[in-house]
Amino acid sequence: MSTQTIRPVSTILQTSFTVVGASTAHEAVDEETQNGDTDYATCNSATAVLALGLQNHVIPEDAVFNSLTVACWLRRLAGAVGTVHLDIGVRSGETFYMIAELDILGSSYVAFSGTSTASPVTGLPWTAAAINASDWCFVATLGPPRATIRITQADGEVDYEIPTFTQWVDGAS
């Protein structure tokens, strides 16, 4: 099995998230190794949405796609009160499909991810076209009196296999 990491290359939708240390949300979270509070996307409103466009992968079209994982590093701000809930998933068109959720309790950065073996749009196994057509999506719901969260890294991984074929030659034994 092979794995390819896919990073954000554009900010598709940014509702109630602000950016610190970078020009855009995707630049704030596209690092290979999470860099803590150097640059990040942050929010402290009741509901916030961040959708990121992804680089097109270079996996062959005939690959068998085993899974797609959406991941991020995040934390709630120290001393913040209120509940923090984060859903992650994919966005296709105007529809969000969540694949994992987390209630955030601590103020240290934690890794959070969700894995899907099938496209939530079709229910069928992932294809190259379906992955290229999807955006990573993060939806934060912050309870009263409004906690604050920071996302410092977001990326995804595609697990896949390249089919192998045996060629038969007429007359061979």
The predicted-structure confidence for 10-22, as pLDDT tens digits, reads as follows 999 999 899 999 9
- Going by CATH, does the domain composed of 2-161 fall within 2.60.120.260? yes
Contact 74, 151 (CB under 8 A): yes
Mean pLDDT of 152-163: 92
* Preceding amide of 145 cis, omega within 30: yes
Which neighbouring-strand residues pair with 151?
Answer: 41, 74
Q: In this structure, what are the phi and psi dihedrals at residue 104, rounded to the nearest 5 degrees? A: -95, 125
Nearest by Cα to 4 from 128, 162, 156 = 156
Q: Of all residues in the chain, what percent carry a pLDDT higher than 90?
A: 45
pTM (predicted TM-score): 0.85
pLDDT digits (tens, 9 = 90+) for 81-117: 777 889 999 988 888 999 999 988 778 888 999 999 9
**Residue 39 CA to its chain's centroid (Å):** 17
Please indicate whether residue 79 or residue 150 has the higher confidence score (pLDDT).
150
Give pLDDT, residue 168.
Answer: 66
Give pLDDT, residue 76.
Answer: 84
Tokens of 169: 């030659």
Please tell me the distance from the alpha carbon of residue 14 to that of residue 51, in angstroms, as a whole number: 7
